[in-house]
Amino acid sequence: MELPATPHFVLETTTRWSDEDNQGVLNNAVYMTLFEEARLAFCRMAGVLEDNRFPFLLAETTVRFKRPGRGGASVRVELNTLEIGKSSFHQGYRVRSEDGEVWAEAKAVLVCYDAATGESRPIPEDLRDALEAMSMD
């Protein structure tokens, strides 16, 4: 999974001790939450939430686990916009430990959604502008 080396947005956060599973590693579901927290932080920073909600739905995520993560650790969640379409966009994520070790990489497809009709809709202009600004190198 090829992701840009330089992230366009970074969220510094921590995992909880309770995020470890019975194998003593970060539970795989926790990564999905970390990706979502990075999306939320980006959307808040860009001012594109609609009534404090995402203007899109998660359609697909692929995760590659590189190293076992740990609970109770400082982590860096890196976010990049990879592709922008008419009603959907692709993002890439990387979770790093405090010392820079990559724990996981992921790609996601997000689709803008009209809750009233239950259908996809074009990407709102403010979101498109924020995504385009983030995808510039």
Residue 21: CATH number of its domain: 3.10.129.10
Q: Give 134 or 112, the one with higher predicted confidence.
A: 112
Residue 131: inside a domain, yes or no? Answer: yes
The reported pLDDT for the residue numbered 100 is 95
pLDDT tens digits, 48-92: 998 889 999 999 999 999 999 999 999 999 999 999 999 999 999
| Three-class SS of 47-108 | CCCECCECCEEEEEEEEEECCCCCCCCEEEEEEEEEEECCCEEEEEEEEEECCCCEEEEEEE
N-terminal to C-terminal alpha carbon distance within the chain: 19
pTM, 2 dp: 0.93
Residue 106: inside a domain, yes or no? Answer: yes
Q: Is the pLDDT of residue 32 over 90?
A: yes
Residue 83: inside a domain, yes or no? Answer: yes
- Structural domain of 14: 9-135
Residue 82: inside a domain, yes or no? Answer: yes
Residue 31: inside a domain, yes or no? Answer: yes
Residue 59: inside a domain, yes or no? Answer: yes
pLDDT category, 1, cuts 50, 70, 90? low
The reported pLDDT for the residue numbered 137 is 54
pLDDT category, 2, cuts 50, 70, 90? confident
The reported pLDDT for the residue numbered 136 is 59
pLDDT tens digits, 35-52: 999 999 999 999 999 888
The domain tally of the chain equals 1
Residue 2: inside a domain, yes or no? Answer: no
To the nearest whole number, what is the mean pLDDT of the chain? Answer: 94
The reported pLDDT for the residue numbered 3 is 85
Helix (H) or strand (E) holding 110: strand 102-114
Helix (H) or strand (E) holding 34: helix 28-46
Residue 3: inside a domain, yes or no? Answer: no
